[in-house]
């Protein structure tokens, strides 16, 4: 659009700045600037009373206070890398479970008559409209020690002679709530993709003698890969940074990256290290997006 | 396989998975027991407790006020951003608008916390929460408005220009009425996101101001009573109505239904 830009009249140019200026300035101030500050903060020393060491201090020694200390610290103790790896696997597991649960639902909606599709999609979005914390809290009730599910599981375990287990405050509770909260993010892009498939392709496959499984595996599934990739990104990324679900439903050992970051900012108040962890999380997210885009584009050629 | 019984069974199981937990929260809000364990009897008690809980009511008031101010601002800014992205391309602006939507919420939360305290030296409270909410809502409004603009035939704007309409007149009489359903849907979305947000608010609220989600969080963390169920049920009802409104309002405004 750059050539069109060159021959804009003065009035049109003014319009352009009037329209794009306010959101541009706002986001420059409250999104770009804070992000830059965070990068800078990750190279600073922590302040005496938490936060950062003052930038404009009278003491010139602190003025030059840029350091790689927090990054060195991150790699000096394997526990931090371990938490990153654990978060990655939790995000991966959540994504896979969401995919397995979302696929049949999305497929059914896509193959339903046009009139009922809107309602079926709405029914997927509706629980998603309830507050995030309420959806997590629901699992606190469902997995509580007096709840039917716990009684059942422990009844079965008791019958075979195994000790009782706690469903609440466990990795299991974290995973199930992660799936519950993010499921609609997987259903919607999948449905959007599946809905566009031409049913005559399946007819052709059937005429050529493909059974239901082969029709799915060789026609529907490859065509739905773009939907799978966008859904997976929408689930994977938020789960990677999630702190509230492990915080509420997890035990002491279920700390993920998000909890670590929260702890640095609000608990120990080591902001430089918190910033470093945030930068690491950003890099992890970018890496995943890049990988997904690459895999998506190579697979897309065969589909 | 087309729509076989197995597909139906699997899909219904997923619907049940989505709805059963929420149904249980609602049911226990009427349970005459302090524990969310077994059904004792019907009561309105927890709603009564809720209506006399000053902190909770204040938090609800804060949430509403913040959602109102931030959704109106985000709607204005997001509409502008959506129009700019549609008309001029503007890849840098698109990047700035969409990234806060795509990245994990905690990153925006902590970077704003850092920025407010370390750079602006701002006392955290209403203002910081509102700014944070506007920042993440702009993208949602912009995407909806841009999608709406993409569906409009460009020649209508050319016609307006040829007939001598100024840019403002074109916007006022042509563009705005056409994108209004998108603007309203975006505004409702921003309102819901604001009232619903926990993570970013958690980092930008400070100690003085509590919103409804923050209040619910501390109740869940410290002392769970069915009052949480009661407030959840009411919130569920409100947000369901907003979602239904945002689904159907655009049609109504276009005079379709």
CATH number of the structural domain spanning residue A87: 1.10.3720.10
Q: What is the mean pLDDT of residues B92-113?
A: 87
Chain A residues closer than 8 Å to B80 by CB: 19-20, 22-23
Structural domain includes residue A89: yes
**In chain B, which ranges are continuous DSSP H helix?**
5-28, 45-51, 54-88, 91-102, 105-114, 126-150, 155-162, 167-170, 176-196, 199-204, 212-222, 226-253
Structural domain includes residue A93: yes
Query: Based on the domain organization, do B57 and B21 belong to the same domain?
Result: no
What was the pLDDT predicted at A64?
52
**pLDDT at A100 > cutoff 60:** yes
**pLDDT at A166 > cutoff 60:** yes
Structural domain includes residue A20: no
> Do residue A1 and residue B102 have CB atoms under 8 angstroms apart?
no
- Confirm if A216 and B7 have CB atoms less than 8 A apart: no
Query: Based on the domain organization, do B75 and B21 belong to the same domain?
Result: no
Structural domain includes residue A171: yes
Residue in B28, B89, B97, B103 to test binding to A, most A beta-carbons within 10 Å: B103
- Confirm if B187 and B139 have CB atoms less than 8 A apart: no
Q: Which of B30-44, B78-92, B163-177, B181-195 has the lowest mean pLDDT?
A: B30-44
Helix axes A114-125, A78-110, angle to 10 degrees: 150
Helix axes A225-241, B105-114, angle to 10 degrees: 40
> Do residue B108 and residue A131 have CB atoms under 8 angstroms apart?
no
Percent of chain A with pLDDT over 70: 87
Residue B204: CB atoms within 10 Å: 28
**pLDDT at B176 > cutoff 90:** no
Query: Based on the domain organization, do B137 and B243 belong to the same domain?
Result: yes
> Do residue A101 and residue B220 have CB atoms under 8 angstroms apart?
no
Q: What is the mean pLDDT of residues A132-159?
A: 79
pLDDT digits (tens, 9 = 90+) for B106-146: 999 999 988 888 778 777 888 889 999 999 999 889 888 88
Query: Where residue B184 sits, what CATH number does that domain have?
Result: 1.10.3720.10
Query: Based on the domain organization, do B154 and B137 belong to the same domain?
Result: yes
Task: Quote the number of domains for chain A.
Answer: 1
In angstroms, the CA A220 to CA A225 distance is 9
Structural domain includes residue A22: no
Residue in B92, B106, B201 to test binding to A, most A beta-carbons within 10 Å: B106
Task: Quote the number of domains for chain B.
Answer: 2
What was the pLDDT predicted at A58?
42
Q: What is the mean pLDDT of residues A203-218?
A: 80
Query: Based on the domain organization, do B52 and B33 belong to the same domain?
Result: no
In angstroms, the CA B24 to CA A134 distance is 11
Residue in A19, A284, A289 to test binding to B, most B beta-carbons within 10 Å: A19
pLDDT digits (tens, 9 = 90+) for A56-77: 444 444 445 677 777 877 787 7
Structural domain includes residue A48: no
Query: Based on the domain organization, do B219 and B200 belong to the same domain?
Result: yes
Query: Based on the domain organization, do B142 and B17 belong to the same domain?
Result: no
Q: What is the mean pLDDT of residues B210-238?
A: 85
ipTM above 0.85, yes or no: no
Q: Which residue has the higher pLDDT, A61 or A262?
A: A262
Q: What is the mean pLDDT of residues B221-230?
A: 81
Sign of CA dihedral B45, B47, B51, B54: positive
What was the pLDDT predicted at A3?
45
What was the pLDDT predicted at A98?
93
What was the pLDDT predicted at A63?
47
Class of residue A193 by CB neighbours under 10 A (exposed 0-12, middle 13-18, buried 19+) = buried
Percent of chain B with pLDDT over 70: 93
Residue A260, domain extent: 71-302
**pLDDT at A105 > cutoff 50:** yes
What was the pLDDT predicted at A99?
92
Chain B residues closer than 8 Å to A256 by CB: none
The two structure tokens encoding residue A171: 């990795």
Confidence label for A256 from pLDDT (cuts 50, 70 and 90): confident
Q: Which of A10-19, A259-268, B3-12, B30-39 has the lowest mean pLDDT?
A: B30-39
Closest CA to A229 of A301, A128, A299, A125: A299
Residue B26, domain extent: 1-43
**Which member of B84, B100, B192 has the closest CB to residue A129?**
B192
Confidence label for A7 from pLDDT (cuts 50, 70 and 90): low
Residues 63 through 82 of chain A touching chain B, CB cutoff 8 Å: none
Query: Based on the domain organization, do B86 and B190 belong to the same domain?
Result: yes
Residues 81 through 140 of chain B touching chain A, CB cutoff 8 Å: 81, 83-84, 87-90, 93, 96-97, 99-100, 102-108, 110-115, 117-119, 131-132, 134-135, 138
Structural domain includes residue A291: yes
- Confirm if B143 and B237 have CB atoms less than 8 A apart: no
**pLDDT at A96 > cutoff 90:** yes
> Do residue B104 and residue A20 have CB atoms under 8 angstroms apart?
no
In the block, tokens 């056409």 appear at B178
Closest CA to B11 of A120, A139, A47, A37: A120
Chain B residues closer than 8 Å to A231 by CB: none
Residues 145 through 204 of chain A touching chain B, CB cutoff 8 Å: 146-147, 180, 183, 202
Residue in A117, A141, A212, A284 to test binding to B, most B beta-carbons within 10 Å: A141
Average pLDDT, chain A: 80
In angstroms, the CA A147 to CA B27 distance is 14
Q: Does B14 touch chain A (CB under 8 A)?
A: yes
**pLDDT at A2 > cutoff 50:** no
What was the pLDDT predicted at B72?
93
Query: Based on the domain organization, do B97 and B175 belong to the same domain?
Result: yes
Query: Based on the domain organization, do B78 and B104 belong to the same domain?
Result: yes
In angstroms, the CA A186 to CA B245 distance is 24
**pLDDT at B255 > cutoff 50:** no
Q: Nearest-CA residue of chain B relative to A126?
A: B240
Percent of chain B with pLDDT over 90: 11
Q: How far apart are the first and last CA of chain B?
A: 36
Query: Based on the domain organization, do B96 and B196 belong to the same domain?
Result: yes
Structural domain includes residue A39: no
Query: Based on the domain organization, do B116 and B178 belong to the same domain?
Result: yes
Q: What is the mean pLDDT of residues B209-216?
A: 87
**Which member of B21, B35, B111 has the closest CB to residue A142?**
B21
Q: Does A97 touch chain B (CB under 8 A)?
A: no
**Which member of A34, A146, A213 has the closest CB to residue B114?**
A34
**Which member of B90, B224, B239 has the closest CB to residue A129?**
B239
**Which member of A26, A137, A282 has the closest CB to residue B77?**
A26
């Amino acid at each position: 659009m750059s050539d069109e830009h060159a021959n804009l009249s003065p009035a049109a140019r003014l319009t352009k700045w009037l329209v794009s200026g306010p959101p541009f300035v706002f986001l420059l101030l409250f999104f770009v600037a804070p992000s830059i500050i965070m990068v800078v903060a990750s190279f600073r020393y922590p302040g005496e009373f938490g936060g950062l060491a003052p930038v404009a201090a009278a003491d010139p020694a602190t003025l030059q206070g840029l350091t790689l200390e927090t990054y060195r610290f991150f790699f000096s103790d394997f526990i931090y890398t371990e938490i990153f790896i654990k978060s990655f696997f939790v995000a991966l597991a959540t994504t896979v479970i969401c995919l397995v649960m979302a696929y049949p639902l999305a497929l059914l909606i896509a193959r339903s008559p046009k009139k009922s599709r809107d309602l079926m999609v709405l029914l997927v979005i509706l629980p998603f409209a309830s507050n995030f914390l309420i959806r997590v809290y629901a699992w606190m009730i469902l997995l509580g020690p007096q709840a039917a599910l716990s009684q059942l599981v422990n009844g079965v375990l008791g019958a075979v002679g195994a000790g009782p287990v706690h469903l609440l405050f466990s990795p299991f509770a974290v995973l199930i709530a992660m799936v519950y909260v993010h499921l609609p993010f997987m259903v919607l892009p999948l449905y959007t993709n599946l809905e566009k498939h031409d049913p005559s392709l399946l007819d052709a496959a059937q005429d050529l003698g493909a059974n239901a499984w082969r029709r799915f595996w060789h026609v529907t599934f490859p065509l739905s890969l773009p939907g799978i990739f966008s859904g997976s990104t929408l689930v994977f990324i938020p789960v990677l940074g999630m702190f509230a679900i492990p915080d509420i439903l997890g035990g002491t050992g279920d700390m993920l990256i998000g909890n670590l970051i929260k702890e640095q900012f609000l608990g120990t108040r080591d902001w430089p290290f918190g910033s470093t962890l945030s930068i690491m999380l950003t890099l992890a997210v970018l890496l995943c997006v890049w990988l997904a885009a690459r895999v998506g584009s190579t697979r897309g050629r065969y589909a | 396989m087309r729509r076989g019984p197995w597909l139906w069974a699997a899909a219904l199981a997923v619907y049940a998975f989505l709805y059963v937990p929420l149904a249980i929260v609602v049911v226990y809000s009427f349970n005459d027991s302090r524990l969310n364990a077994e059904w004792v009897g019907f009561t309105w008690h927890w709603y009564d407790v809720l209506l006399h809980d000053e902190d909770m009511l204040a938090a609800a008031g804060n949430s509403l006020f913040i959602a109102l101010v931030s959704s109106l601002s985000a709607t204005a800014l997001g509409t502008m951003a959506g129009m700019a992205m549609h008309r001029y391309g503007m890849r840098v602006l698109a990047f700035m608008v969409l990234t806060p939507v795509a990245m994990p919420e905690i990153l925006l939360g902590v970077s704003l916390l850092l920025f407010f305290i370390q750079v602006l030296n701002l006392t955290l409270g209403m203002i910081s929460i509102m700014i944070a909410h506007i920042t993440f809502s702009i993208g949602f409004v912009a995407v909806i408005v841009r999608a709406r603009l993409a569906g409009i035939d460009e020649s209508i704007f050319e016609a307006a220009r040829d007939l001598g309409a100024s840019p403002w007149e074109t916007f006022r009489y042509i563009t705005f009425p056409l994108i209004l359903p998108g603007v309203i849907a975006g505004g409702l979305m921003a309102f819901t996101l604001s009232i619903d947000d926990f993570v970013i608010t958690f980092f930008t609220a400070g100690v003085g101001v509590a919103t409804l989600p923050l209040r619910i969080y501390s109740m869940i963390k410290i002392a769970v009573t069915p009052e949480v169920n009661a407030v959840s049920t009411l919130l569920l009802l409100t947000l369901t109505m907003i979602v239904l409104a945002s689904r159907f309002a655009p049609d109504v405004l276009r005079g379709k239904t």
